[in-house]
Structure 1
Amino acid sequence: MVISLKLLIVVFLLFGCVIANEEPSKDWLNDTDYIDSTHTVIRLKEKDDELAHQIAKRYGMVVKGEPFMENHYFFYHEQPDHAYRRKRTTSEQLGEHPAVEWVEEQRPKKRSKRDYIHIDDVQEKKTGEDLIGATKQTIHHMARRKSTLEVPQLPWIDPLYKNQWYLTGGADGGFDMNVREAWLMGYAGRNVTVSILDDGIQRDHPDLIANYDPMASSDINDHDDDPTPRNNGDNKHGTRCAGEVAAVAGNNQCGVGIAYKANIGGVRMLDGAVFDSVEAAALSLNQNHIDIYSASWGPEDDGQTFDGPGPLAREAFHRGIKSGRNGKGNIFVWASGNGGSRQDSCSADGYTTSIYTLSISSATSDNREPWYLEECPSSIATTYSSAAMSQPAVVTVDVPTGCTMSHTGTSASAPLAAGIIALALEANSKLTWRDVQHLVVRTANPKPLLSTAGWSTNGVGRKVSSKFGYGLMDGAALVKMAKTWKKAPEQNLCIYEYKLNRPNPRPVSGRFRMNFTIEVTGCQIGTPVLYLEHVQVLSTIQYGRRGDLKLTLISPAGTRSILLPPRPFDYNSNGFQKWPFLSVQQWGEDPRGTWVLIVESVTDNPKLKGTIEDWSLLLYGTAEPAQSGDPSHNAAPQSSVEYAVSGLTAQDRIPPYRRAAQGESTQNGMSPMKFLAICVYLILLLVLAA
């Protein structure tokens, strides 16, 4: 009887091991959410809605919502409680259909909104008496936009405008986002469309309805056109972000949006399980109509996660910058993250390390770093937010009506940046996605924030910080420069691959420090990069405790960027695979000379082991100055960093986007093979004991 019981335990453990390695993790989703939302995405060879429905019906599935990225379709099982193995079999059968070019069963992804503090009792609620009348207005009113610039009479009559300290010189030293000067020049975001990718938007809010744009809105969670959030207490985030951008000015409601005449829309995508397909559908929504996408969310800011966009979302980004806005490229604004208390780094977030996003950090009213701020060299600039209950936060609209004075986190910073960029796009609608990044780098003001440690000066004399990027965004300076800006030359990409000498991969253990150097002289084929914009390092490292690793990149001009600081809460033993670390701190520098990548471990455990593999240096930029008045890099530079050159291979072929530009996300925790091995070991012990 004892032996039979132990054998039963063995069978149970073996079954559990198999299931654990095959089933997606659901520890953060309840079973109902997962079952109702799991789905398959197919890509047809060409868009054909009727054919998609026929294929779905053939396999006991239905198509929901509209196709995204032209020919991608959401397929759901008619009976959502199908077993996982049956769903996988169906996916395999779909892949064999001659009209299906690609198929993938979607797995849920953990995504978090980046607002930290909810002080909902500090609010001024409006009665909403104007709501019924406001709903009779024309919802999409671009035709009534005036071409002449109307100069506002300040201050605004909106009751909470006086509390918008970040617009009215209320930060220490009298600083703010300097948008009043832009307003007095007549700019308010006219004919610019912003979409908030979040948990929905209260489209009939009296302070939003006049600017609401249905063509910039969608409900991807429920696959319909109504982005209104569920009023359950959790879905205020998107509406609040929308109010920061485009709350109507001068209507005696709440406060004022920075781009108070912009078209504002919202995508409901975070009010349910999030998938790669959901993100892609949001990021690719009406890319020729929407100018700016604002996202205040990302992977968990827990100090232990490495994650980023999946293949579909990466493709949506790529399509956006290549063909969005009729070829000028969409602008993607991203909140840098709220994991500061966990010593997290935005370098572990694949959305903020994309060259296609503007990663926006936060500063408090006393011009200091908030406690939740994450450091990384991919942050390009900063806007205001708050940190403590004693400090003023951001004023905006609330759900379903009324206002709040307590919006905060980097969630509040990204929409302010989106609103400021909307002012610049009104001033110059021809700006490309790269033009916008150039303008932000060149007009950000570091002076208000210089009292916080961590600033350095890069090779072209710009102050830069891993906390604040190039400084506080300046609305008036951005608009003024936008008006005279000439389109930047095409962006080139030069790739250098570092090939390790034997042993390769290189074994490491305990506390170590290794320097790897690459000599950059230009591309073998094509036009070289002489004026840097983005710099990426694609690296693969396995180590017993990933959080003990530190990566530092030094440019020929001596600019030192900490690509990855130690993260004490990251116990992962898998490391990262071709992760795209990004730095914008070398913007404008000449890349020729010696680059140094320092890989080190700060561990106190001599038993930790790992391996370092070949790595790549990706240099994005131009062969000519971005503007005619920029300093010229003609003479061959003298490298300020002297190290021996080792293992250098120049590569002139640009790799596929999906491999080079974004890399692959790294899962956390134990690998499936390691977990299975432990299971087998436990089973053997039980068998021997039996």
Structure 2
Amino acid sequence: MTYLISSLADTDRIFELTEKLYQSQIFEYVEPKFWLFVETASDHKKRPLVICTNDQYYPQQWLLNNTGQSGGIVDADIDAPEAWAITSGSPSVRIAILDNGTERNHPDLTANITGGSDATGGSGGCAYPATNGNPNWCAGDAHGTWVAGVAAAVGCTGVGVTGVAYGSKIVPVRVFQGTTLTNADWVASGINYARNNAEIINMSFTLAAPSSTVDTQISQAVTTGRGGKGVILVAASGNNAGSTPGYPSINQNVVSVGRTTNQDLRFMDSQYGPGLDLVAPGVDIWTTDLTGATGANTGDYAAVGGTSFASAAVSGAFALLLSVNPNLTISQARMLLESTTDKISLGTYSYASTPNQNNGAWNNEVGYGRVNVNNTLIAMRNSNITGPSIICTSGTFNLTFKPNVPKTWYSSNTSILTINSVTGVATRVGSGSGPVTITMRYSVLSTTYDITKEIWVGTPDVSTIKYDNGISAGGAIMFHPIPTIQYIWINRTS
């Protein structure tokens, strides 16, 4: 129900009264009735939703959209075009590519590259040492360019490939030379730079052994990055077929990513086991290559494979999440992505609650499952409690996010409102009236999550709201006789 209050009060006093009414929590909204000037937000043309599918090699990019090409299973993909209907990435979301360099002047990357650093100092035996994240043009140094293209190659140009988050930015950070040469200081320095210059850090490599120096910088990134919300670190599980993910992906603060085939199966060399979080496509992945004769293929593009590119796809998926909601903490973002995966190949893999894997049912070979970023964006968009804002007699509450997780409903004041802990049906107690917090609580192993909704029980009693000068804002409403009539819209639903 909506009310219109009129008053002979000056504008400043109307704003005060509006705020006082809203702070009472009785009304869903309270706002002055302004005269507004209209500026149309249309150029008078109707256009269909634009989803980038026109790039040259897009039909081969089954990781984005598996239509059965090359004998794959339809929809064994990350549902990228469906996700792009919500967002294709924001330029304010940056993915740091910690690697052996990224070709900054590649025509499918240059528009999305910003900043950069070379933690190795540009030393080495190459004729053209790297600077500011450039590759050093040695044979085999294309890796960082491949990874960057999967995560965020420029889209909708009609040529080349499309990155998962083609509207986001790439920050090249060189932390190793060639394909094998690095040290803990270089990697730690790269993470330190990236946590201050990016929202997501992609590490498509494994190191021979864990490092306390690197662990310290990882910890700093997840605790202090993004203003305390935490930089999201993603790493490849490795390609050695071992039953333990490689380092640094095994670090609990890093998202460990294995790779799948176009048949939704773990690729035989993808490292797995405790600590693996999820999987993504990583076989025959089309991406950007070093340009000219230095590239692995002619035409500046190549098809590559490995957990490196599964990791890059997941970094792109996180970029899409943060493009919709940049205020997500690292734990919230991980919960969203990891709990909305596709549980692939159920005839092959069984999923169950597992210690230290707190975001849903998990499997030893494919983790929580194959990432589905469209599922994630839809869940994030709908992750609120649905139900009435005011209950006069009864109402039903539900949660569209994580519907398959056992959940328990609570009322903050059972003397005026009870709620069935299983069904979410709430019932007013007698003539009780007042504010109540509805809580939906669910637990996954050792972690408990609460989602809340503030409501009002009973008919709001506006006579109890006092204006600053002691005049009641309800019942027999009386205001000081100021010449201009002002109006306030207030609303309740019962």
User: 2:138 — aligned with what?
Assistant: 232
* SS in structure 2 of the partner of residue 172 of structure 1: coil
The answer (yes or no) to whether the contact 2:164–2:317 under 8 Å persists in 1 is yes
With over 3 angstroms needed to count, the CA separation of the structure-2 counterparts of 1:246 and 1:466, relative to structure 1, is: same
Q: Whose radius of gyration is greater, 1 or 2?
A: 2
Residues 455-512 of structure 1 deviation map (CA, whole Å, 9 limit, x = unaligned): 44559994321111111111112122334558xxxxxxxxxxxxxxxxxxxxxxxxxx
User: 2:345 — aligned with what?
Assistant: 449
| Equivalent AA in structure 2 for residue 470 of structure 1 | Y
From 355, 374, 384, give the equivalent of 1:476: 374
Q: How far has the Cα of 1:588 moved from its partner?
A: 4.2
The answer (yes or no) to whether the contact 2:94–2:169 under 8 Å persists in 1 is yes
Matched, 1:218 2:118: yes
User: 2:285 — aligned with what?
Assistant: 394
Residues 146-166 of structure 1 deviation map (CA, whole Å, 9 limit, x = unaligned): xxxx98534522110111112
The answer (yes or no) to whether the contact 1:152–1:186 under 8 Å persists in 2 is no
The answer (yes or no) to whether the contact 2:234–2:249 under 8 Å persists in 1 is no
From 97, 106, 124, give the equivalent of 1:196: 97
| Equivalent AA in structure 2 for residue 294 of structure 1 | N
User: 1:427 — aligned with what?
Assistant: 324
Separation (CA, whole Å) in 1 of partners of 2:451 and 2:277: 20
Separation (CA, whole Å) in 2 of partners of 1:439 and 1:167: 19
The answer (yes or no) to whether the contact 2:76–2:263 under 8 Å persists in 1 is no
| Equivalent AA in structure 2 for residue 174 of structure 1 | D
* SS in structure 2 of the partner of residue 174 of structure 1: coil
Q: How far has the Cα of 1:406 moved from its partner?
A: 2.0
Residues 180-204 of structure 1 deviation map (CA, whole Å, 9 limit, x = unaligned): 1111124324310001111100001
With over 3 angstroms needed to count, the CA separation of the structure-2 counterparts of 1:462 and 1:315, relative to structure 1, is: closer
How do 1:285-296 and structure 2 match up within 5 A?
Answer: 285-296=193-204
| Structure 1 unaligned blocks of 5 or more | 1-149, 301-306, 387-392, 487-530, 532-586, 592-620, 630-690
Separation (CA, whole Å) in 1 of partners of 2:311 and 2:251: 16
Separation (CA, whole Å) in 2 of partners of 1:316 and 1:217: 16
* SS in structure 2 of the partner of residue 194 of structure 1: strand
Separation (CA, whole Å) in 1 of partners of 2:196 and 2:162: 27
The answer (yes or no) to whether the contact 2:90–2:323 under 8 Å persists in 1 is yes
How do 1:626-641 and structure 2 match up within 5 A?
Answer: 626-628=450-452
| Equivalent AA in structure 2 for residue 398 of structure 1 | D
| Equivalent AA in structure 1 for residue 215 of structure 2 | R
With over 3 angstroms needed to count, the CA separation of the structure-2 counterparts of 1:484 and 1:323, relative to structure 1, is: farther
The answer (yes or no) to whether the contact 1:339–1:374 under 8 Å persists in 2 is yes
TM-score using structure 2 length:
0.62
User: 1:241 — aligned with what?
Assistant: 147
Q: How far has the Cα of 1:219 moved from its partner?
A: 4.7
Residues 41-77 of structure 1 deviation map (CA, whole Å, 9 limit, x = unaligned): xxxxxxxxxxxxxxxxxxxxxxxxxxxxxxxxxxxxx
* SS in structure 2 of the partner of residue 284 of structure 1: helix
Q: RMSD in angstroms over aligned alpha carbons?
A: 2.6
User: 1:406 — aligned with what?
Assistant: 303
With over 3 angstroms needed to count, the CA separation of the structure-2 counterparts of 1:212 and 1:259, relative to structure 1, is: same
Separation (CA, whole Å) in 2 of partners of 1:383 and 1:472: 5
Separation (CA, whole Å) in 1 of partners of 2:217 and 2:450: 26
User: 1:253 — aligned with what?
Assistant: 159
* SS in structure 1 of the partner of residue 214 of structure 2: helix
Residues 194-252 of structure 1 deviation map (CA, whole Å, 9 limit, x = unaligned): 011111000010000111111x4435342774211122221011000000111111112
From 211, 214, 229, give the equivalent of 1:328: 229
From 266, 285, 292, give the equivalent of 2:172: 266
User: 2:191 — aligned with what?
Assistant: 283
Structure with greater contact order relative to length (CA < 8 Å, sep ≥ 6): 2
The answer (yes or no) to whether the contact 1:201–1:239 under 8 Å persists in 2 is yes
The answer (yes or no) to whether the contact 1:249–1:260 under 8 Å persists in 2 is yes
Q: How far has the Cα of 1:268 moved from its partner?
A: 1.4
User: 1:179 — aligned with what?
Assistant: 80
User: 1:526 — aligned with what?
Assistant: none
User: 2:244 — aligned with what?
Assistant: 346
Q: How far has the Cα of 1:179 moved from its partner?
A: 1.4
User: 1:206 — aligned with what?
Assistant: 107
Separation (CA, whole Å) in 1 of partners of 2:238 and 2:452: 36
| Equivalent AA in structure 2 for residue 218 of structure 1 | D
The answer (yes or no) to whether the contact 2:119–2:186 under 8 Å persists in 1 is no
* SS in structure 2 of the partner of residue 399 of structure 1: coil
Separation (CA, whole Å) in 1 of partners of 2:370 and 2:218: 26
* SS in structure 1 of the partner of residue 267 of structure 2: coil
Q: How far has the Cα of 1:313 moved from its partner?
A: 1.1
The answer (yes or no) to whether the contact 2:202–2:234 under 8 Å persists in 1 is yes
The answer (yes or no) to whether the contact 2:95–2:202 under 8 Å persists in 1 is yes
- Paired positions, count: 331
* SS in structure 2 of the partner of residue 173 of structure 1: coil
* SS in structure 1 of the partner of residue 449 of structure 2: coil
Q: How far has the Cα of 1:450 moved from its partner?
A: 1.9
User: 2:395 — aligned with what?
Assistant: none
How do 1:151-162 and structure 2 match up within 5 A?
Answer: 153-154=50-51, 156-162=53-59
User: 1:569 — aligned with what?
Assistant: none
